[in-house]
Amino acid sequence: MAFKLPDLNYGYSDLEPFIDSKTMEIHHSKHHQGYTNNLNNAIEGTNFQEMGIIDLLKSMDMNNAAIRNNGGGFYNHSLFWSIIGPNKGGTPNGEISDKINSYFGSFDSFKELFSKAAASRFGSGWAWLCVKKDGSLEICSTANQDNPLMPSIGCGGIPILGIDVWEHAYYLNYQNRRPEYISAFFNIIDWESVSEIYKKATS
């Protein structure tokens, strides 16, 4: 089974003014499509073809650059599209809200720590909110297309929220102003979706 580029639940222009239409179009139809195609090429004829993306990431060899970069790219962007949307933002409700308050003190404090992790990632990469095996939450960041599911990343757990801080994610609209993009991202986070992912990760 080849991996397939997921469709978006919204149009390329629907996240404006926070993410512009052209960035969305290139990011999804070129970058994410590229990771998908390259992943399929990299696993051709291997038993990774029989696996889902999560098992593939957990069992991959970190020295295999093609699978690491493109498997990560495929998974990271699939998660990213699913946790953003038009007319979202605000603050979470329910269990995930309680968890955030209990681990980070308040939503504002969580926002500050997550934004800092995203802003301080040098070069290309991602910042994550993860839920660990014991149910605790952790904010961390990874380089390039790495993610917390991969072996020996030192950034634990299952990601339930992630922000892409590669320049391709924001440069057309924000140029070098990454902190403005990070701040805008909070207006499009789909907390209901994050909450669903959290529930699955902890069930």
| Interacting residues toward Mn ion by CB under 5 A | 164, 166, 169
Least CB distance to Mn ion at residue 122 (A):
16
Residue 183 DSSP label: H
Of 134, 172, 177, 132, nearest in space to 155 by CA: 132
CB atoms within 10 A of CB 63: 7
Of 69, 79, 16, 62, nearest in space to 39 by CA: 69
Least CB distance to Mn ion at residue 127 (A):
13
C-beta nearest to Mn ion: residue = 164
Using the minimum distance from each CB to Mn ion, give the nearer residue, 9 or 59: 9
Least CB distance to Mn ion at residue 126 (A):
8
Structure tokens at 123: 């070069």
Least CB distance to Mn ion at residue 9 (A):
18
Using the minimum distance from each CB to Mn ion, give the nearer residue, 164 or 190: 164
Cβ-Cβ contacts under 8 Å for 148 (sequence gap 6 or more): 128, 130, 140, 142, 155, 156, 157, 158, 159
Using the minimum distance from each CB to Mn ion, give the nearer residue, 104 or 170: 170
Least CB distance to Mn ion at residue 31 (A):
5
**What is the C-alpha separation between 136 and 99, in angstroms, rounded?**
8
Using the minimum distance from each CB to Mn ion, give the nearer residue, 73 or 157: 73
In order of 1, 3, 27, 79, 189, the CA distances from 53 in angstroms are 11, 8, 20, 11, 23
Using the minimum distance from each CB to Mn ion, give the nearer residue, 85 or 162: 162
Residue with tokens 């999560």: 54
